[in-house]
Structure 1
Amino acid sequence: MTVRELVSLLPDPAALLARCRAVALLDGILDAHAPTHSFVRDWREGVDLAFMDNGSGDQYAIVFDPAGVFLYGFDHESDASPWREEDRAHWPGLLDGLPASLAHYAETPEFQFDGFFDATVCAWRENGSTEWRCGPVEFAPDESDGADRLFGLLVDGRPDAYVSFAEDYFERAVDRDAVVAVLEGFPLTRRTVASLSSSADFDVVAEHARRLGCSAPDTSEL
């Protein structure tokens, strides 16, 4: 899967936002100190940010702006890596067609590395549009931009996909029913949190969930 296939598989922005929040919450419960997936509500005024960093050089960011959604990823081992050339360069067509309302995110300092927008995948969806779009990139059958490795979990969305990822990454058994509860957006409960992590402090997790915009009780009022 390259970005050309990715844009046909991504869910609508509202569903993607909910999925990003849930995955960030799950990661945060399983490992509060080093989650792979994170979410920042009001990263900018009225703008939310989901991001992933696997600690091995791969990352992505998804910006949820009132003007639309801007998505990019960097797979350091992909054929489309800007580092394939001595003077870094994007894969031809990567940013072509990026609308002005979202184009400034490719220049955001947080998404720069040594003054360059390191990206192998880029897609967007303007507010009011019914489709995700990408630039006119082309890949040979044996070439990849890393879209499958970076965004496969978000595209899949099934509890089993997250369980498989988490058990491999965190090297521990993961309770499927608890994963279902979080992905489905059910209000967070002590039982769900304890099923995922026996050492997690429910009050801390609930506060984190509320910051993400997930449904959780305000334990200070109980």
Structure 2
Amino acid sequence: MTVQEVARALPAIESLKSLCRSLAMAEAILNPDGERYFSFNSTWSETEELASMRNGSGDEYDIVFAPTGAYIRGFDHESPLTPYRHHDVPEPWPGVLDSVPKIFQHYVQEPAFVDEQGTPVVTVCLWRELEDDTWKAGEIAFPEGHEDPDGSNYLFELLLSPTPEAYHSFAEDYYERTIDIEAVRDLYALRPLDASLITRLNASASIKDAIEAAEEIGYPMADGRLPHTA
């Protein structure tokens, strides 16, 4: 699958934002004390929100949700498109960033998305302005012999399969435990968070910590006040 095919398959901006909130909320409850696989910062700036993935093995993505649209950068450390293919002079693969529109250009050099030398840490990039009817990516000459050369299919697997069942399968394998599928479905439906939903997903999770995570994520809360107790 090429990044152009991924661009046609990704959900629209608002649907993608809701999906990213659900993923982050599930992770915050399932893995409250560890490094989060998925996260969401609803106050990344005064006007922008940020969804992120870090798999702990060097692969990552960030999605900026801005008033002008959305910008995605991903990095697969095993991709042949890595900027570090030439260790003496790291640089993005031709075409990956060349067509990023002016409205999103400042994200290319966003400090959180570059290395210590200022090189964009990227193998795949997509963007979508508010008036666009699909996601867009640059024209890229991919090296032959790779099914997923830039890692876009691998990195965005759960974004391309935006179902509770897909996350449930991933989470049971990743955390090696049984997980309540109905609780996952509730999170994917953005059912307001309450103590019952938290404990159904993880009986040992701190209610207080889950509430704090929901506030950061911008996940909807139940009308009634949740008890701020561990």
Instruction: Tell me the TM-score range normalised by the shorter chain.
Output: over 0.9
Is 1:183 aligned to residue 188 of structure 2? yes
Note the residue ranges of structure 2 that are not aligned, 5 or more in a row: none
- Alpha-carbon distance in structure 1 between the residues aligned to 2:38 and 2:5: 22
Note the residue ranges of structure 1 that are not aligned, 5 or more in a row: none
**Match of 1:58?**
59
- Alpha-carbon distance in structure 1 between the residues aligned to 2:2 and 2:75: 12
- Alpha-carbon distance in structure 2 between the residues aligned to 1:169 and 1:106: 31
- RMSD value, Cα: 1.5
- Alpha-carbon distance in structure 2 between the residues aligned to 1:182 and 1:169: 18
**Match of 2:217?**
212
Deviations 1:29-56 (A, max 9, x none): 0001221000001201110000111110
Q: What displacement does 1:141 show?
A: 5.2
User: TM-score, normalised to structure 2's length?
Assistant: 0.91
Bigger mean CA deviation after superposition, 144-153 or 167-176: 167-176
- Alpha-carbon distance in structure 2 between the residues aligned to 1:202 and 1:156: 29
- Alpha-carbon distance in structure 1 between the residues aligned to 2:134 and 2:96: 17
**Match of 2:139?**
136
Is 1:106 aligned to residue 113 of structure 2? no
Alignment of 1:82-97 (within 5 A): 82-86=83-87, 87-97=89-99
**Match of 1:161?**
166
Paired residue type of 2:122 = A
Bigger mean CA deviation after superposition, 203-212 or 119-128: 203-212
- Alpha-carbon distance in structure 2 between the residues aligned to 1:216 and 1:66: 24
Bigger mean CA deviation after superposition, 33-42 or 52-61: 33-42
Q: What displacement does 1:130 show?
A: 1.3
Identity, % of aligned pairs? 39
Q: What displacement does 1:139 show?
A: 2.2
- Alpha-carbon distance in structure 1 between the residues aligned to 2:227 and 2:13: 32
Deviations 1:51-75 (A, max 9, x none): 1111100000000011110001000
Q: Is the 8 A contact 2:64 2:72 kept in 1?
A: yes
Q: Is the 8 A contact 2:183 2:200 kept in 1?
A: yes
Deviations 1:145-186 (A, max 9, x none): 101110011110111110111112222221111000000111
Q: 1:119 aligns with which of 115, 118, 122?
A: 122
Is 1:2 aligned to residue 7 of structure 2? no
User: TM-score, normalised to structure 1's length?
Assistant: 0.94
Paired residue type of 2:196 = R
Q: What displacement does 1:134 show?
A: 0.4
Question: Runs (4+) of structure 1 moved beyond 6 Å?
Answer: none
Paired residue type of 2:160 = V
Q: Rate the CA distance shift 1:202–1:220 in 2: closer, same or farther, 3 A.
A: closer
Paired residue type of 1:51 = S
- Alpha-carbon distance in structure 1 between the residues aligned to 2:30 and 2:144: 37
- Alpha-carbon distance in structure 2 between the residues aligned to 1:82 and 1:157: 29
- Alpha-carbon distance in structure 2 between the residues aligned to 1:202 and 1:51: 23
Greater share of helix: 1
